[in-house]
Amino acid sequence: MAKRRTLKRSITEICTVLFAEGVAASLENEHPENADALLTSILKMERHYICRVSHAEKGMKPKLYFNDLIEKFNAQVIEIADQINNSNA
């Protein structure tokens, strides 16, 4: 159970940093509606992955499930970070 707790904490910390970067970018951005959508997507992403950690899929080996979860989370984090960087340019 401690591994799930650690994974949830890591997801929350990463999403917190992304959210802070998004807020900082929104202050410099001329289009606040884009920033609002980005911040909302960060919050939804965090909730989605926290729920996925809590309720693992049945019939799938846990190691494969969590490796897939981490891989998809990392890809989505990179995508959002790119959106934040592009909004500053």
Per-residue pLDDT reduced to its tens digit, 10-39: 999 999 999 999 999 888 877 777 888 999
The 8-class DSSP code of residue 60 comes to S
Compute the distance between CA of residue 15 and CA of residue 87 in angstroms, rounded to an integer: 18
Count the Cβ atoms, other than its own, within 10 Å of residue 46: 19
Average pLDDT, rounded, for the chain: 90
pLDDT tens digits, one per residue of 36-49: 899 999 999 999 99
